Amino acid sequence: GGSERGRSSSLCAPRVWVTLHVDYTSKYGIGVRLSNGSTGVYFNDSTKITLDPEGYRFLYVERARYGDLDLAVGERSSPAEKSDEYTTAVYPDGLRKKVTLLHHFREYLEKESHKQASASVDKASEGLVIEAMEKRIHLWPRDAWNAPAKEELVYVKKFVRTKHAILFRLSNSTVQVIFTDCTEIILSSEARVVTFRDKSRRRRAFTLESVVHEPRPDIMKRLQYTKQILQQLVSKR
The answer on 115 and 24 residing in a single domain is: yes
The helix/strand/coil state of 201 is coil
In a domain, 232, yes or no: yes
Q: pLDDT value at position 190? A: 64
Phi then psi dihedrals of residue 170, to 5 deg? -95, 160
Q: Are residues 103 and 183 in the same domain?
A: no
Which residue did the predictor score with more confidence, 171 or 130?
A: 171
Residue 134 lies in a domain: no
pLDDT average, residue stretch 187-208? 84
The candidate with the shortest Cα–Cα distance to 59, out of 70, 72, 48, is 48
Q: Tell me, yes or no, whether 128 lies in a domain.
A: no
For the cut 90, the answer to whether the pLDDT of residue 8 exceeds it is: no
Regarding predicted confidence, which is higher, 205 or 68? 205
| 215 within some domain | yes
Position 191 scores a pLDDT of 58
**Which pLDDT score, from 0 to 100, does residue 145 have?**
45
Put simply, whether the predicted model's pTM sits higher than 0.85 gets the answer no
Host domain of residue 214: 173-236
Together in a domain, 195 and 115 = no
- Please classify residue 136 by burial: count the beta carbons closer than 10 Å to its beta carbon, then call 0-12 exposed, 13-18 middle and 19+ buried: middle
Pair (110, 184) in one structural domain: no
Among the listed residues 77, 80, 79, the one whose alpha carbon sits nearest the alpha carbon of residue 230: 77
Number of structural domains the chain divides into:
2
In degrees and rounded to multiples of 5, residue 50 shows phi and psi of: -140, 130
CB 54 within 8 A of CB 62: no
CATH number at residue 28: 3.30.1120.30
